[in-house]
Amino acid sequence: MSWWGGFVCRHCRWVLLAALVAFAGSAVVLAGGGSLKNSSTFNFESNRGFSLEDQQLPSVSVTGVTLVMSSSTVTVGTPAYAAAVHSALAQLAGDSRVQSISLPPLDDPAAQSPQIAPDRHAIAVQVALRTDNFATATQEFPSLRDEVHSSQLTVHAAGDVALNSAFNVRSEQDLERADISIPAALVVLVIVFGSAVAALLCLSVGLMAVAGGLAAMYQLAHHTDVSTFALNVVVIVGLGVAIDYSLFLVSRFREELRRQGDVEAALRTTMRTAGTAVAFSGLTVAVGVSGLLFYGGTILSSMGLAGSFVVAISVIYALAFLPAMLAILGDRVNRWRPSSLLRPLRRRPATAPPTPGASGPTAGTPREGFWHRLATTVMRHPVPVLLPCLAVLLLMGSPFLQMNLAEANVTLLPPGDDARQGTEQLAQEFSEGNPIDVVLDFHGSPYATANVAAAYGLARRLDSFPGISKVESYVDVPGVSALTAYQGLYAGGEAGLAPQLRSQVAPLTGSSIAVLRFFTPYAVEGSQADSLVRELRSHDQTAGAQVSVTGNTAFNLDYVAYMLGRTPWAAVYIMLTTFVLLMILLRSLVLPLKAVVMNLLSLSAAFGALVWIFQQGHLSGALDFSPASLDPTVPVLLFCAIFGLSMDYEVFLLTRMREAWDGGRDNRGAVADGLEASGRLVTGAAAIMVTVFAVFGLVSSVVVIKALGLGMAIAVFIDASVVRALVVPAVMRLIGPVNWWAPRWMRRRSDPPEAVPG
């Protein structure tokens, strides 16, 4: 890294040109990027059953849209209702992108139809689009939706196209509203540096890194499905880490330039110290985000790839573009001072006046400023400081023990969202309850005599379970009861059925499958529905068929189990890999272990806050969301992102402590000097991250991003204030010189003699 600092200094204009060309290339790639799509593929029972239904049962096209049209004053069958419906759909009916519009009977007051709500105040209109491409339908939906409007009816859209479009639109709107995080971060940077040039330099690295991350994400979308949420993750993570890395590098460069007076020497030392820390910190963040790849088949895997890309790009720009600019600017990086109102906030030199030719960590005596005095005070009373801090952190994390996990769909959107309201109204008014499908795959015609007998026997066993309110299947036809009657009825196969019977059983039979549809009044995410699914699965064995229980409740059970099954592996991978990286960087076995434990403390408090806010519903009115069980993606995403991001501060804090220890300081002196050298920067970096994350959390309308932003802001705040400033010095004082112990094979020749023999 020292060599790289000298190389960049000597060839700064060429390195700068290469960085600018890369930035311009990002803009070109962005212009031709792919489309984002929220899609998942799972290999568990409920999804296998759903796939069989999707392949063999007649259904509405995936590119179709359902419009729920309702009135509180008039009912279906009246001229006023029919006129209002036709008027609302007139423009849409003439759109060339629409293939057909399916309406229920509107003129007959006694007409019965699945498209008419029981109270006859609402209808479900099926709109089929000409395109078979889901991405195209999603892109065209907003303009199609704008064509439907009525002053007499309340109209909401429902279906996958409407929901996916809502997530896309809201993600883009959230990013536009989150633009205020950029000037907010700039203000914090100016306060930290006392120089507008240094602040703008850091911000420019952040913006370039985000542009590169977005380009990589959209290029990835050409090859695989990339979630719409990846867009927010790239901006949040990219902006946060890139500015943080720039902050530490610029600060160290200014410090070394004051001490050594030579640009190249200052840049060499900066890259050898802070540059090495940035490289390792980037690796730890990338490791954390890459933990999302353990959740293959979910939207998390694409978010993990996109997040890893933007972290790598942030490190590259921080270690190439930024030092090139520092080499060109030299001491001009301190120009454009703000007004005298900010003078008290400017950073004072952390070392004694410069000594010509001095270099290295021992050149100069550290000032005993606020952070040094704080560390010394904490280390004089480690136990009285540590115990209350741990009590507060554990108390904040206690709600985590009450966490409930469930797949979240429309509840991720705000309560007033059109697609959410339409989907919820469709489920409430046009559904006969919570359907649980038992799919029998016979690998042959379901109408064969033996297969009819198998389906009949299973249906009779299962429909007696408590909680079953209704059964629909091809062996539950009104007026037919005996098995022999069904076998005789289907002796000629589907072709021999009367038209009315064929239309009745066709939606429940395919070329090789039959569906037994059980309805229950139990809520989809309720414990009663969960128990019913488990009971059905324990009694669904039948000869001659492979049986799968599917439906929303079954999928929720399988989905949560799938996520929980992979979480231990992801957590072990992240913690173990981070431990190894820190062991290499710090040349210690104890410090990496302590760093991992400190991160877990910060995370536990953030998880507790997550449950307290989003599950228990505190602040739901102010933040405009509906309290609900947490989708497993939220805590998983928070863990993977925060574990790496929080390690940033640990890396920069411990590397400065290691420098002081290598320079001959004892354990207490090394801890105090390291905190003095990095405490103010860690606080400034945390303030920037908290600002960026909190802005996203407050302005985002999608619950996943809202929870991620606020959770990350809380975790970083706790990490940089309570953990790094109080808990870390107290723990390191209690551990003593053992902090720095390492086996002989890990030591360098230049390392000082260890206090504890290895």
- CB-neighbour burial class of residue 704 (10 A; exposed 0-12, middle 13-18, buried 19+): buried
Could you tell me which CATH number the domain at 433-550 has? 3.30.70
Beta-strand (E) ranges in 61-130?
Answer: 65-70, 98-102, 122-129
Q: Alpha-carbon distance 73 to 639, whole Å?
A: 50
- CB-neighbour burial class of residue 360 (10 A; exposed 0-12, middle 13-18, buried 19+): middle
Q: Alpha-carbon distance 660 to 671, whole Å?
A: 8
> Does residue 612 carry a pLDDT above 90?
yes
Q: Biggest alpha carbon distance in the chain? A: 103
In the structure encoding, which two tokens stand for residue 609, read together? 């806050």
The mean pLDDT value of the chain amounts to: 85
What pLDDT does 747 receive? 65
pLDDT digits (tens, 9 = 90+) for 41-59: 788 889 899 888 888 887 6
Beta-strand (E) ranges in 16-137?
Answer: 65-70, 98-102, 122-129
CB atoms closer than 10 angstroms to residue 755: 14
Q: Which of 161-165, 308-312, 584-588 comes out lowest in average pLDDT?
A: 584-588
pLDDT digits (tens, 9 = 90+) for 285-303: 888 888 988 988 788 888 8
Q: Alpha-carbon distance 142 to 151, whole Å?
A: 19
Residue 358 binned pLDDT confidence (cut-offs 50, 70, 90)? very low
Q: Which residue has the higher pLDDT, 578 or 351?
A: 578
Q: List 517's β-bridge partners, or say none.
A: 437, 472
Mean pLDDT score, 373-398: 92
- CB-neighbour burial class of residue 338 (10 A; exposed 0-12, middle 13-18, buried 19+): middle
The residue behind tokens 């001009």 is 332
- Report the chain's terminal Cα–Cα distance, integer Å: 28
In the structure encoding, which two tokens stand for residue 180, read together? 């205020």
Q: Alpha-carbon distance 278 to 242, whole Å?
A: 10
Q: Confirm if 107 and 115 have CB atoms less than 8 A apart.
A: no
What pLDDT does 338 receive? 64
**CATH 2.30.30.240 describes domain 1-32+195-334:** no
- CB-neighbour burial class of residue 644 (10 A; exposed 0-12, middle 13-18, buried 19+): buried
- What one-character DSSP code corresponds to residue 629? P
Which ranges in the chain are annotated with CATH 3.30.70?
A: 59-168, 433-550
Q: Confirm if 698 and 623 have CB atoms less than 8 A apart.
A: yes
pTM: 0.81
In the structure encoding, which two tokens stand for residue 595, read together? 């760093």
The residue behind tokens 């890990």 is 746
> Does residue 427 carry a pLDDT above 70?
yes
What pLDDT does 357 receive? 43
What pLDDT does 61 receive? 59
> Does residue 346 carry a pLDDT above 50?
no
Q: Alpha-carbon distance 575 to 600, whole Å?
A: 10
Query: What stretches of 225-298 show up as alpha helix (H) in DSSP?
Result: 229-260, 263-270, 276-290
Choose among 652, 660, 633, 632: nearest CA to 719: 652
Residue 265 binned pLDDT confidence (cut-offs 50, 70, 90)? very high
pLDDT digits (tens, 9 = 90+) for 372-384: 899 999 999 999 9
> Does residue 452 carry a pLDDT above 50?
yes
% of residues, the chain, pLDDT over 70 = 94
- CATH architecture observed for domain 373-402+554-758: Up-down Bundle (1.20)
What pLDDT does 611 receive? 93
pLDDT digits (tens, 9 = 90+) for 711-750: 889 988 998 888 888 999 999 999 988 888 877 776 665 5
pLDDT digits (tens, 9 = 90+) for 622-634: 888 888 888 888 8
Residue 342 binned pLDDT confidence (cut-offs 50, 70, 90)? very low
What pLDDT does 37 receive? 74
pLDDT digits (tens, 9 = 90+) for 502-551: 888 888 888 899 999 999 998 888 889 999 999 999 888 888 889 999 98
> Does residue 74 carry a pLDDT above 50?
yes
Angle at 384 between CA 380 and CA 389, to 5 degrees: 115
Q: Confirm if 730 and 617 have CB atoms less than 8 A apart.
A: no
Q: Which of 206-215, 377-386, 588-597, 744-753 comes out lowest in average pLDDT?
A: 744-753
> Does residue 388 carry a pLDDT above 90?
yes
Choose among 544, 363, 344: nearest CA to 440: 544
In the structure encoding, which two tokens stand for residue 473, read together? 């299947």
> Does residue 754 carry a pLDDT above 60?
no
In the structure encoding, which two tokens stand for residue 274, read together? 């802070």
> Does residue 757 carry a pLDDT above 50?
no
Which ranges in the chain are annotated with CATH 1.20.1640.10?
A: 1-32+195-334, 373-402+554-758
% of residues, the chain, pLDDT over 90 = 27
The pairs formed by 348-352 with CB atoms below 8 angstroms and a separation of 24 or more are 349/255, 349/258, 350/255, 350/676, 350/677, 351/255, 351/258, 351/259
Residue 475 backbone dihedrals phi, psi, to 5 degrees:
-110, 25
CB atoms closer than 10 angstroms to residue 345: 12
Cβ partners under 8 Å of residue 572, min gap 6: none
Residue 15 binned pLDDT confidence (cut-offs 50, 70, 90)? very high
CB atoms closer than 10 angstroms to residue 568: 10
Q: Alpha-carbon distance 453 to 486, whole Å?
A: 8
Mean pLDDT score, 659-675: 88
- CB-neighbour burial class of residue 528 (10 A; exposed 0-12, middle 13-18, buried 19+): middle
**CATH 3.30.70 describes domain 59-168:** yes
